[in-house]
Structure 1
Amino acid sequence: MKKTIYTMLLASLFLASCSQSSSSNKTSNTETSNSSSQTSNSTSEELANYYGKYEEEDLSTEYDETTATKITLDEEPVINGNGATAEGETVTISEEGTYVLSGTLSDGQLIINASKEAKIHLIFNGVSITNTSGSAVNIQQAEKVILTLADNKTNNLKDGENYSFAENETEPDATLYSKEDLTINGTGTLKVNGNYSNGIRSKDDLVLVSGTYEVTAKNNAIKGKDSVSIRNGNYNLNTTEGDAIQANNTEDETKGYVAIDGGTFEISSGRDGIQAETNTTLQNAEMTIKTADGANSQTINTNESYKGIKAGNQVKISSGTYSIDSADDSIHSNNTFELTGGTITAKTGDDGIHADNELTISAGVVDIQQSYEGIESAVINFKDGQTKIVASDDGVNAGGGNDTSQENGKFGADSFGGAPDESDDSKQITISGGTLSVNSEGDGLDSNGNITMSGGTVTVDGPTNGGNGALDYGGTFDVSGGSLVAAGASGMAQTVSDSSTQGTIAITFDSVQSAGTLISIKNSSGDTVVTYQPAKIYQTIVISTKELITGDTYSIVSGGTANTEPQNGLFDTGSETTGTELGSFTLSENTASVSQSGETISMSQMAGPGGR
């Protein structure tokens, strides 16, 4: 029989218990890794837990040895079976079936040109194909092609720098090219050199289930027009002028997505690392991405895109580890970003994480080690997780603002609409949980509109120059819970709004305080309410905590030491501290501003428009 045998889980379990002889003539490349995502068989319920689109036949590597056509590639290919022909070093498969290929074409091509209803199963069992004037593999027509990489076998595909086309034709344009749905599975290795343009390309859905991939391409390494779904595998992707992984359907909002459910990735890209026209969804992956020469890239074209992970609609990450060193934004969405788990480490020449409309961190770890602006969106929500930001301009920015300098932000200011010099209630930072640590040369927390804090722990080591503030907002900053410590320069300093229901004190010192100098607040019993160790010089500090009670008297203590270790500069409540008492104050209302001696002073709650 010529039709490929795809085994479903329940059927395989039943047959295994009934008859061993029935499987004696079958060959299986099914993976036996301890990782459940590397196994070939799966139930429909399991498939529903993936972001990618997989069918059970995509996961099967089994085939019938007795009915498969064997093809030995050579100067004169040898075909044992039906459905394939050879002319010189060009092998053409024209019928549905399973084809086991091995050997070498030194300057030839494998063509798939079957009926539109035909399903083709290719087994690459040590294949090497070079075509100096076109694609090594050209899938012209079939319903679907499944390519299995045989166990412990390495396969090589290579094209030339120039293709020979018919008049007015520009395709195929990839070393492994498919007009149809293409799935690759198995545990073998596929090495692809795309010297002309793309490495692996499907003009429909591209599914990569497993295997090891080494792709070097002038343009895109892996490209699926309708979608790219990656379930597992090992990927080493290198491009000079294109993206590492791309889905580019712009005509259907249900397509044009990249979905990654696992695997390890080493990406070095001449443009974006991952680019999807609609959604990029990621889980369970271990990924390292470098675009151009990384965050410190000097010779780049600012009209091009060098982002780490990018999507036209949504970027969502639910688990995995992602280390990104990007010339442009490390993560960028033209609509929304959501983190529900996983770890992101980023160095960038522009924004750490950017979403045009809404950005939410609900869990996980974000460590932005170098950026122009750390986190930027119109609406930003911190619900949980651990976020740490180092920025040469604003740390957290809701609104984009009027920053037009390209000296540090190589790609210029992002626009969110609205005038930067006016308050805009549609711009919002909401903090309800988690930890947020910001070290910024510009504003620490910056909103063109409002900031709301009801929980979590926020520390800000803000600007040392008087033109920015640790806090900067255009509307209100209401605090009802959590712990806030924001230190920075005094020139544009703001405290929280009077409408806040949690005790807050803003202290301005007579002179600039040295970096590392402890500042402590103690209650009338001498117990330490809060101790902070700013990482940079500062002259103003804003402190809000539930331990600050209206009507109580507190002392301001500078310097000394503490008997515990800080987390992001903040010591545990109740830590024993030494130091010099500078003054004291009574918190007569929920919010107060005082000098270092404790005298009431005026501090602006509207120092200027947010978003600067």
Structure 2
Amino acid sequence: MKRVALISAALLGTIFLFGQNIMKLHTGNEIIQMEVSETDSLFFTENGTIANFRVAGNLSQFNVSEIDSITFDLEPVVDSTVYVYYTGTSASVNNPLESVGVTAEVDGANVTITSTAPIAHINYVLSGSSNEGSFKIYSDERIDLILDGVNITNPDGPAINIQSDKRVTVELVEETNNSLTDGENYLDPPNGEDQDAAFFSEGQLVFEGSGNLTIIGLGLDQHGLASDDYIRILGGNITVSSAVKDGIHAKDGFFMEDGNVEVTSDGDGVDAGNDNIEISGGVLTVHSQSDEVSAVKCDSTLIMTDGLLDIEVSGDKSKGLNSNMEIILYGGTVDINTSGGVILEASGQGYDPSYCSAIKSETLVMINGASVTINSTGEAGRGISSDGDIVISGGSLEITASGDGDTYTNIEGDNDAYHGACLNADGNISIIDGNVTLSHSGDGGKGITTDTDLLIGGSGNEPIIEITTTGERITISSGGWPPGSGDYDEAKAVKADGNITIESGEITIDSADDGLKTLDTITINDGTINIIQSEEAIEGPNIIINGGNISLVSHDDGLNATYGNGGEQNDGSLLEINGGYIYINSSNGDPLDSNGNIHINGGVIVVHGPQSSPEVGMDVNGSCIVTGGFLVVSGTNSNMTENASPSSTQYCVLLRTNQQVSANTIFHIEDNAGNSLLTFKPVRSYYSIIFSSDQLSSGTTYKVYTGGSCTGTPVNGLYEGGTYSGGTLKTTFSLSNMAPTVWF
């Protein structure tokens, strides 16, 4: 408080006793100059740590502890603005600060400013036009560069070259058009100075205002706009219309809060170097044209909270958003269009494919609130690719891809295939919430692929997911036995090398091949799963269903528990159903299939099986144990048709006939009292029905009917309520063991 009192006394005494004109605030290495006549007030915070100066209506705050001294000057206020005006091959400089250490050297239209003045934020106003000019400045203090309708072309180097490591604020004056163009070949700089761009700065660059700036980068080994520190965009309309290297290049970060930036370059569009990219507003548009470049790139975290990213990528192996660390999209809108393809790079005994990806991270891609739209048309193009994890916990994501995959020789010297994918991760993929729409029409193209685990949903979250694949399979090798055997890369909707866990959500899949495929365990605890078309709907060594509403339509198997080794032996796989509602419609495969065992402990399972042998309604290499639930399966007369195991603890009946029953013919079971246990209308002709219910009991006689009609409501062929009538009694039976076979 003693320091506060001394400052106050010094100010008041000096101002009123001596009528000073200029007040100079000394803080560290800076001197802040204020006009006494425009100083309205000085006041301190209650704790005395902050001094508030209100000058010309603007409030400036300073830490009291950082104020070294305050001095005053009797001289009139010096104009702290230097004006540079270009006219063709010449330039003129109006420099009112020469006496305090600002010098100007003019050679034709090449202007070099050297400032040793201890004054921060000197204004340098550039205007006029020159086709043979430049602006270069050396300064020990922060400067303000004001572009007021200036057009500079320098055939021999940068148009603007700031050789100061201090912060530069660049104001683009309202309603002005400014342009900067460099030459193809730069002259050697003095003292080994950097001169890396048409607009170059050693220090931080901060753009503000509402005017227009166009940068035309022609330098053969140069960027368009570059800083050896960070670049921050607070306003203005900036267009980098060309650059041989990066359009915008910063060593220590790129930060955008407002304004409009458009970049077209042969190198990276925006490269933020070793630091972050942070976008919280404005519009950033990038046209990336070359192979093996990135539209927006950094070695650290890329984070977006608001604004618009509009990106076009046409080069092979190129990337839209690319980070060596995390890419986190909390908000805003991201639109990325890629047309680049794959590059096969020689490696080992063959090649290693490198892909064009809209979004690529080495650690994590997270979407939590942003709206992301990706369209990929290039060969084997990828939507989002992560060497680590992908997490979607909010917002919306729509990826449309159409590029075909193809065959190649891998690094081991073996035949292989590369393919595109909407989502691809070496680590885990988690879709916790949000709206996700994925569509891939390319050969071998996939919706989701992960080398580890996939998690969908979670407590209190309801993600909405739609996945469509329509591409043809890629033949890697063909032949072998049985016919049709071979090695193929199919257009699967979801493929995980680890576990798939579904906790909640609404999932719709339309697949040219598998709907959900895992090499480990798939666990469905809840949610709505609707696979409207597939070759095999759900496949994996272990399939565990604890709940959910599941509808599966497949050409081949519906639920297929297998390690993929084939054969009729028990391979240890497991299909376990503990709850939920499951509807399966398989036209040419086994709806319930396990190369190991089947355990049915609960749930409602309604199955429309195939109509022709050798496929059956339920195929199990081990044993099927039924302990609870409701099960009805229509099937064929194949000699592989089998019932549940007698070791079951709930009755399960296999009902068979040698006479084919036509499609859409009701199959009905009731007890002697006329109570209905089952009224079921299979969509295909059938020879067998497998039925299990906790209503079955010993000591009761049951009647079996076919045909007739029911006034109830059919849900997936199973009638609920109503009255059955008009059928033909085929047989009666009673239960003598847990898994009898009854002929009708």
Provide the residue aligned with 1:136 in structure 2: 269
Matched, 1:505 2:668: no
Q: Pick the aligned partner of 1:445 from 563, 573, 592.
A: 592
Matched, 1:185 2:332: no
Provide the residue aligned with 2:570 in structure 1: 423
Letter in 2 for 1:291: H
- Rounded Cα–Cα distance in structure 2 between residues aligned with 1:204 and 1:585: 68
Change (3 A) 1:245 1:227: farther
Provide the residue aligned with 1:145 in structure 2: 277
- Rounded Cα–Cα distance in structure 2 between residues aligned with 1:130 and 1:391: 47
Kept in 2: contact 1:529–1:573 (CA 8 A): no
Provide the residue aligned with 1:550 in structure 2: 698
Matched, 1:282 2:431: yes
Change (3 A) 1:210 1:536: same
Provide the residue aligned with 2:379 in structure 1: 241
- Rounded Cα–Cα distance in structure 2 between residues aligned with 1:71 and 1:105: 17
- Rounded Cα–Cα distance in structure 2 between residues aligned with 1:70 and 1:363: 56
- Rounded Cα–Cα distance in structure 1 between residues aligned with 2:59 and 2:550: 56
Matched, 1:231 2:350: no
Question: Larger deviation: 260-269 or 363-372?
Answer: 260-269
Q: Deviations over 1:137-171 (max 9, x none)?
A: 122222x2212233xxx4311022x35xxxxxxx6
Kept in 2: contact 1:331–1:354 (CA 8 A): yes
Q: Could you say which structure has the larger radius of gyration?
A: 2
Kept in 2: contact 1:398–1:429 (CA 8 A): yes
Q: Pick the aligned partner of 2:234 from 73, 86, 100.
A: 100
- Rounded Cα–Cα distance in structure 1 between residues aligned with 2:693 and 2:336: 53
Letter in 2 for 1:265: L
Percent of aligned pairs with the same amino acid:
26
Question: What RMSD in Å do the two structures reach over aligned CA positions?
Answer: 2.7
Kept in 1: contact 2:357–2:385 (CA 8 A): no
Provide the residue aligned with 1:313 in structure 2: 452
Change (3 A) 1:573 1:505: farther
Q: Secondary structure at the match of 2:373?
A: strand
Q: Secondary structure at the match of 1:588?
A: coil
Using the TM superposition, give the Cα deviation of residue 207 of structure 1 relative to its aligned residue in structure 2, in angstroms: 1.1
Q: Pick the aligned partner of 2:612 from 436, 443, 465.
A: 465
Matched, 1:156 2:290: no
Provide the residue aligned with 1:208 in structure 2: 329
Provide the residue aligned with 1:195 in structure 2: 314
Kept in 1: contact 2:312–2:320 (CA 8 A): yes
Kept in 2: contact 1:337–1:360 (CA 8 A): yes
Q: Pick the aligned partner of 1:367 from 530, 554, 571.
A: 530
Letter in 1 for 2:297: Y
Using the TM superposition, give the Cα deviation of residue 488 of structure 1 relative to its aligned residue in structure 2, in angstroms: 1.1
- Rounded Cα–Cα distance in structure 2 between residues aligned with 1:279 and 1:74: 48
Q: Deviations over 1:432-470 (max 9, x none)?
A: 000111111111111011000110011111111111110
Q: Pick the aligned partner of 1:434 from 559, 567, 580.
A: 580
Letter in 1 for 2:525: S
Provide the residue aligned with 1:7 in structure 2: none
Q: Deviations over 1:200-259 (max 9, x none)?
A: 11122111111112101122111111111111222220112345443442xxxxxx1100
Provide the residue aligned with 1:523 in structure 2: 671
- Rounded Cα–Cα distance in structure 1 between residues aligned with 2:647 and 2:178: 80
Provide the residue aligned with 1:75 in structure 2: 179
Letter in 1 for 2:373: N
Provide the residue aligned with 1:480 in structure 2: 627
Matched, 1:266 2:266: no
Question: Larger deviation: 575-584 or 436-445?
Answer: 575-584
Q: Deviations over 1:100-127 (max 9, x none)?
A: 2532121144434335xxx653225221
Kept in 1: contact 2:202–2:229 (CA 8 A): no
Q: Deviations over 1:405-446 (max 9, x none)?
A: xxxxxxxxxx3x5x623112x200000000111111111111
> Bigger relative contact order, structure 1 or 2, given CA contacts below 8 A and separation 6+?
1
Using the TM superposition, give the Cα deviation of residue 397 of structure 1 relative to its aligned residue in structure 2, in angstroms: 0.6
Kept in 2: contact 1:508–1:539 (CA 8 A): yes
TM-score normalised over the length of structure 1: 0.74
Letter in 2 for 1:322: I
Q: Pick the aligned partner of 1:126 from 260, 278, 283.
A: 260
Using the TM superposition, give the Cα deviation of residue 574 of structure 1 relative to its aligned residue in structure 2, in angstroms: 7.3
Structure 2, unaligned runs of 5 or more:
1-26, 28-51, 61-166, 181-197, 207-213, 218-223, 341-355, 404-419, 472-490
Using the TM superposition, give the Cα deviation of residue 348 of structure 1 relative to its aligned residue in structure 2, in angstroms: 1.1
Kept in 2: contact 1:126–1:155 (CA 8 A): yes
Letter in 1 for 2:422: G
- Rounded Cα–Cα distance in structure 2 between residues aligned with 1:365 and 1:466: 31
Question: Larger deviation: 572-581 or 308-317?
Answer: 572-581
Change (3 A) 1:68 1:529: farther
Please list, as runs of the form range in 1=range in 2, the aligned pairs for 1:488-499 lying within 5 A after superposition.
488-491=635-638, 492-499=640-647
Change (3 A) 1:539 1:135: same
Using the TM superposition, give the Cα deviation of residue 275 of structure 1 relative to its aligned residue in structure 2, in angstroms: 0.5
Provide the residue aligned with 2:683 in structure 1: 535
- Rounded Cα–Cα distance in structure 1 between residues aligned with 2:215 and 2:372: 34
Letter in 2 for 1:159: S
Using the TM superposition, give the Cα deviation of residue 98 of structure 1 relative to its aligned residue in structure 2, in angstroms: 4.1
- Rounded Cα–Cα distance in structure 2 between residues aligned with 1:345 and 1:91: 46
Q: Deviations over 1:69-102 (max 9, x none)?
A: 4565953289999613998642123335743253
- Rounded Cα–Cα distance in structure 1 between residues aligned with 2:721 and 2:598: 25
Provide the residue aligned with 2:91 in structure 1: none
Letter in 2 for 1:206: I
- Rounded Cα–Cα distance in structure 1 between residues aligned with 2:621 and 2:561: 10
Change (3 A) 1:70 1:361: farther
- Rounded Cα–Cα distance in structure 1 between residues aligned with 2:690 and 2:728: 19
Using the TM superposition, give the Cα deviation of residue 590 of structure 1 relative to its aligned residue in structure 2, in angstroms: 2.0
Q: Secondary structure at the match of 1:238?
A: strand
Provide the residue aligned with 1:396 in structure 2: 559
Q: Pick the aligned partner of 1:332 from 480, 495, 498.
A: 495
- Rounded Cα–Cα distance in structure 2 between residues aligned with 1:74 and 1:476: 79
Change (3 A) 1:573 1:100: same
Using the TM superposition, give the Cα deviation of residue 325 of structure 1 relative to its aligned residue in structure 2, in angstroms: 1.0
Question: Larger deviation: 435-444 or 577-586?
Answer: 577-586
Q: Secondary structure at the match of 1:498?
A: coil
- Rounded Cα–Cα distance in structure 1 between residues aligned with 2:225 and 2:530: 51
Using the TM superposition, give the Cα deviation of residue 502 of structure 1 relative to its aligned residue in structure 2, in angstroms: 1.0
Aligned residue pair count: 485
Letter in 2 for 1:198: K
TM-score normalised over the length of structure 2: 0.62
Kept in 2: contact 1:290–1:308 (CA 8 A): yes
Letter in 1 for 2:466: S
Change (3 A) 1:575 1:265: farther
- Rounded Cα–Cα distance in structure 2 between residues aligned with 1:272 and 1:198: 14
Kept in 2: contact 1:182–1:202 (CA 8 A): yes
Q: Deviations over 1:40-69 (max 9, x none)?
A: xxxxxxxxxxxxxxxxxxxxxxxxxxx994
Using the TM superposition, give the Cα deviation of residue 567 of structure 1 relative to its aligned residue in structure 2, in angstroms: 1.7
Provide the residue aligned with 1:607 in structure 2: none
- Rounded Cα–Cα distance in structure 2 between residues aligned with 1:70 and 1:242: 43
Kept in 2: contact 1:123–1:147 (CA 8 A): yes
- Rounded Cα–Cα distance in structure 1 between residues aligned with 2:171 and 2:372: 28
Kept in 2: contact 1:374–1:395 (CA 8 A): yes
Structure 1, unaligned runs of 5 or more:
2-18, 27-66, 164-170, 250-255, 294-299, 401-414, 597-612
Kept in 1: contact 2:711–2:722 (CA 8 A): no
Using the TM superposition, give the Cα deviation of residue 339 of structure 1 relative to its aligned residue in structure 2, in angstroms: 0.6
- Rounded Cα–Cα distance in structure 2 between residues aligned with 1:546 and 1:68: 80
- Rounded Cα–Cα distance in structure 1 between residues aligned with 2:695 and 2:381: 51
- Rounded Cα–Cα distance in structure 2 between residues aligned with 1:562 and 1:352: 34
